[in-house]
A = this chain, B = another copy of it.
Amino acid sequence: MDYQHLLADRSEQMKANAIREILKVVGQPGMISLAGGIPSPESFPMQIFSRITQQVLDTYASSALQYDLTEGFLPLREQVSTLLGSRGITASADAVHICSGSQGVLDGIAKLLISKGDKIALEAPTYLGAISAFNPYEPEYIPMDMDDQGLIPDALELTLKTHSVKFIYLVPTFQNPTGISLSLERRRQIARLIQKYNVLLVEDDPYSALRYRGEDLPAIKTMAPDHVVYISTLSKVFAPGLRIGFYAAPRFIREWLVLVKQGVDLHTSTFNQAMAAEYLRGGFLDDHLPRIIRLYRPRQAAMRNALDTCLPSEFRTAPSDGGMFLWVTGPKGFDMMALYRKAVKNNVAFVPGHFFFTRETEGVETMRLNYTMADEPTIETAVKKLAATIEQM
């Protein structure tokens, strides 16, 4: 039987991303991978997991295993409401919804809001998972320039003046792929702009808890609550395999997103939501987060130090106070894809930066380096190998 003719028109937009091919080399024996974007298994609170699962069974019994509300498991929503409060975001348990990882609500928002050809404004570069959530709904992208302080507000204003956008998508803190954070002053400017132009912002915040230095920055959601869908996750501070994300959104959007989610997965795993509820309720996050930071902070420092020391002076690393990535820009026109091919032969993998741009010609001289999955000596070895490979070119 031939199946090709059965595909919906939108499948054109869902083709396999070349980055998957990049990530495949990661598993080759001997490879040092700075390519992935996943937390270290050392960051998982293994020692308390069995206690938490037992607590879930004792506390919630069969209701942890039953179908539950599409909105989310109420004990978890209560905990997340408190967590959001600590980030300055006011959202009652009713106003907090749970999703199957952040990815779940990125798909939900796209499904709810994007008609074919609608315009989405986003940072260039941006998070690939969002692109893979949005693409099937056939939007057009309006990429906006960033610098070391994040999205440039003038670029946003120009976009809002010239285009009618369905929503803006930003990762303001420790962005994937760049590790860059939007400065406080710019957050305020952007909050004013979305209010002035009355446009919706999707603020994706998976990394802000992973801060290795400096002061916390408030979410834009705190500055323009009616104009922002704020999304976050427990994937980086508990366990990504549980697929627990959450969001706070204006009521109208929130209620529609429930209808959307009903058609997609009915609800997120009750058992995993109950585990997350116990993790937060028992104070385990407060206890465990400093350990994660103690694990990653020296890895980031080791990587930055090695990059500064070993790479030629025309290679520049963007400033970053947290998260999981550093972003390196080579001299104008430097072919990072060529470096990638040589580096892989030398057993070091990374992601060439052009994959993170929606415009094809951008970012050829950039790369994303992950530092959560390797220890300091390994990171140093890898960066030295990269430097040697650059030297050969």
Q: How far, in angstroms, from A39 to B266 measured CA to CA in the complex? A: 15
Contacting pair B266 A103 (CB below 8 A): yes
Q: How far, in angstroms, from A133 to B243 measured CA to CA in the complex? A: 21
Partner of A242, one of B2, B57, B226, B269: B269
With A3-B250, A263-B14 known as contacts, the answer to whether A68 contacts B241 (CB < 8 A) is: yes
Q: How far, in angstroms, from A167 to B3 measured CA to CA in the complex? A: 11
Is A62 in contact with chain B by the CB < 8 A criterion?
A: yes
CB-defined contacts of A263 to chain B, threshold 8 Å:
14, 103, 107, 129, 132-133, 135-136
Q: How far, in angstroms, from A263 to B16 measured CA to CA in the complex? A: 11
Q: List 29 A-B contacts (CB under 8 A).
A: A1-B200, A1-B226, A3-B200, A6-B113, A6-B167, A6-B200, A8-B113, A8-B114, A14-B263, A38-B66, A39-B66, A41-B62, A41-B63, A44-B65, A44-B66, A46-B62, A64-B241, A65-B241, A66-B240, A66-B241, A101-B265, A103-B264, A107-B265, A111-B136, A132-B263, A133-B264, A241-B270, A242-B270, A271-B275
Query: Interface size for chain A: under 10, 10 to 19, 20 to 34, or 35 or more residues?
Result: 35 or more
Partner of A129, one of B50, B64, B260, B266: B266
Contacting pair A271 B250 (CB below 8 A): no
Contacting pair A242 B67 (CB below 8 A): no
CB-defined contacts of A68 to chain B, threshold 8 Å:
241
Since A7-B112, A8-B115, A107-B264 are in contact, a sample of 12 more A-B pairs with Cβ atoms closer than 8 Å, ordered by chain A residue number, is: A1-B198, A1-B200, A1-B226, A3-B250, A6-B166, A8-B137, A16-B259, A38-B66, A44-B62, A67-B240, A241-B270, A243-B266
Q: How far, in angstroms, from A4 to B200 measured CA to CA in the complex? A: 12
Chain B: minimal CB distance from A129 (Å): 7
CB-defined contacts of A101 to chain B, threshold 8 Å:
265-266
Considering the complex, give the chain B residue whose CB is closest to the CB of A73: B241
Is A294 in contact with chain B by the CB < 8 A criterion?
A: no
Chain B: minimal CB distance from A20 (Å): 9
Contacting pair A243 B262 (CB below 8 A): no
Is A389 in contact with chain B by the CB < 8 A criterion?
A: no
Chain B: minimal CB distance from A134 (Å): 8
Q: How far, in angstroms, from A198 to B2 measured CA to CA in the complex? A: 9
Is A11 in contact with chain B by the CB < 8 A criterion?
A: yes
Q: How far, in angstroms, from A264 to B134 measured CA to CA in the complex? A: 10
Considering the complex, give the chain B residue whose CB is closest to the CB of A244: B269
CB-defined contacts of A267 to chain B, threshold 8 Å:
243
Residues 228 to 267 of chain A near chain B (Cβ within 8 Å): 235, 239-243, 250, 252-253, 256, 259-260, 262-267
CB-defined contacts of A271 to chain B, threshold 8 Å:
239, 241-242, 271-272, 275
Is A49 in contact with chain B by the CB < 8 A criterion?
A: yes
Chain B: minimal CB distance from A42 (Å): 8
Contacting pair A41 B66 (CB below 8 A): yes
CB-defined contacts of A81 to chain B, threshold 8 Å:
none
With A54-B50, A264-B104 known as contacts, the answer to whether A252 contacts B200 (CB < 8 A) is: no
Residues 74 to 118 of chain A near chain B (Cβ within 8 Å): 100-101, 103-104, 107, 111-115, 118
Is A268 in contact with chain B by the CB < 8 A criterion?
A: yes
Return the CB mask of A269-285 against B: 1 if under 8 Å, else 0.
11110010000000000
